[in-house]
Chains A and B, each alone.
Chain A
Amino acid sequence: MYTFSSKLKTFSFILMALGVVGIVFGFLNAPKTIEDVEKLLADSHHGHEVAHVEKIAPQAVDTHIVADTVNVAVAHVADSTHVETNNTTVDSTVHVEDTTAVVAVAESPAHTDNHKTHSKADAHYQDDHKAHLEHVLHQLQNKPWAALYVACIFFMLISVGVLAFYAIQYAAQAGWSPILFRVMEGITAYLLPGSIIFFLLLVAAGMHWNHLFVWMDPEVVNPESVKFDKLIFLKKGWLSVGRFLGTAAVILIVWNYVRFKFVKNSIAQDAAEDNAPYKRNFKLAAFFLVFFIVSESIMSWDWIMSVDPHWYSTLFGWYVFASFFVSGITVIAMITLYLKSKGYLEHVNTSHIHDLAKFMFGISIFWTYLWFSQFMLIWYSNIPEEVTYFVTRIEHYKLPFFGMLVLNFIFPLLILINTDFKRLTWIVVMAGIVILFGHYIDFFNMIMPATVGDQWFIGIPEIGALMFFLGLFIFVVFSALTKAPLVPKRNPLIEESKHFHY
């Protein structure tokens, strides 16, 4: 039996406490009104408002735009978006009261036309500026929410990835892995608290406490409103808060139920007379994998892709899957190495670690394959309505967007390709830390551009949220590991697993 070391427990509490402080700080520091934002912007880029408006325009695509804009060439997305926004605002507010412009041009009657357009343009600027400030306000108010959301979904999906890996091991009747089943069961224990917090976050979004999901705003699908968005309106059959929360509840309940049954049968097998609990788990694994692949796809549309409701990609579900699957396997390897180093897993040898490292390596490449396939297809055809997704990312997230390729692909490729290296604890742990960080950045890149746009920063709210969920993860997982013996007793494949050598 494993005993939770008091040092690790204290460490996890410290992480959670610091994390809560960071999260609260993030919420308190978010601006409340447009005036706050104006002050913030004036402090940071004084005198560059116009340039800033221009720069931020592609972001506007996501929130307040008319359907027609999607037809313009990519290079001009910024400009045309800008124009569209101007037109809509002009229609609703026709007031020309700019004094300086009037004085300057009024002296010459010949320039009346000019004057009109000029002052009109100035009025546009005023309105545009206000719209821009409101836009930045939403982004900054989203920041602490998005930071929380990214960290929450990342850690929850790690436990889901481990659950999928566990089910695959059962369904494939793998001979090497039963020795690691209890470690995997411990990690999936995080699924329950993780998914409860996550569901509460989704409910918070559904209650309009934040602007994470643009389509949740009822104004957006109201044809009478200035915020009306035809594209979202056409998708409202799927994108409705009730359907969204209902699907999320069903998916999370089934995942948690399956996890509960898996662990129950696994423990029952320890004391069983025959292999009945094992067989039940085998069948459950087969059922779960079918359910999982469907639910995983749906959850990737709902929880991740729908932050960009104008954009869609068919292989997105697989891409998200590869990301958290490799993170899950990495966490299995790291926790196994930790327990092994504390002397708890005497039957785990370097061959088991080698196999896990091979999975880390292989699935990292698989992730890259999907990332590149998605990116290259969209880059190559350059269809404006699809490519804005990557345009905003490359423009505002250059370092995280391409940096994660180094972390998630180049680094594991060069380090984990060597057979001898895959058996060395420090190499696997180092690669594991890099891969986990890289996939956090991956989720960051999926959520942030649509929610906070170019206002992103990995600061106190983001690190705080990460620390809180890391602390919770460590606490829950290692508490769960104390609940059952670390070596399953009567698993039909356990002897083979104990003597596994590669």
Chain B
Amino acid sequence: MDLPTIWFCVIAAFWLGYLFLEGFDFGVGMLMPVLGRDNTERRVMINTIGPVWDGNEVWLIVAAGATFAAFPAWYASLFSAAYLPLLLVLLALIGRGVAFEYRGKVDTDHWRRTWDVVIVLGSWIPPLGVGLLLATTVLGLPLDVDGNRVGSAFEAFRWDTLLGAAAVVGFSLVHGATFLALKTSGDLRARARTLALRLLPFALLPLFAFVALVQWRHGSLWTAGLVAVAMLAGPVAWLRLRADRDGQAFAALGVVIAAAAVVLFGALYPNVLPSTLDAANSLTVANASSSPYTLTVMTWVAAFGAPAVLIYQGWTYWVFRKRISTQHIPKVHVPR
């Protein structure tokens, strides 16, 4: 494999890591008003992701940084052409990150309710926007010969990209509910599990529809196999959840998103950002990549850096592996 292709795979892997790890973060936040019946339950939910959400979010930052380093033209065209969806994601992530940290710093209901709204909005908007961005990457934008967008600021909002947005939202919901079933105990766990069982058959449909659409438009034989894997892993997740095996269900959902991500990027290759105006304007792995020297340097950095990240992030999950429930939540302790 040549270096640009390797880096295409690395960036796909960062996106996959992001979708998998922040998928349940978003799901937890999205479900907070549904599953959290009182403040303590909502605190249990937030604390299932408390120590890890920040590290999970860095996967998005590094996906963007790696794109800048390895495919500057892709980075420049996608983020300037899909300006508004990206802006929405950024605004939501700003609010959400602050909300986690600030919510418990003042002991009044009004204060908590305000930040809960921010957490819920900050958990619904980013999967929508990220889904839109990824769908746009795979399905293309009206780009001129210089890689600039032709047309209005709303070119990224189409029915097929909105389907991609719904796909990420639906997956995040199911993934979050399953994660809560896996990480909590007691009453909350029972309700999270029931909800996951009810949601799963419907919430994964947009993802399957979107993957099928991408397969139909740009797919090849090997991606078809992965479409099948994604669609089979969904029912497996449901069955394992029903059999009370939360961990296996969670892993099966991991297979769903991994297979789906590989289909998306597999169908995209060798493009990195197709132009819907003229195929000659499309950005490809070959014409959008950095120089061989830069890619070599980055390959060395990633070869040492990425495994280290996996090791210490894995260790974090191990340290905080215990289920938590309402009796683990300490009393609120704030000044006065």
Partners in one complex: no
Interface residues of B (CB under 8 A from A): none
Chain A residues in the interface with B (C-beta under 8 A): none
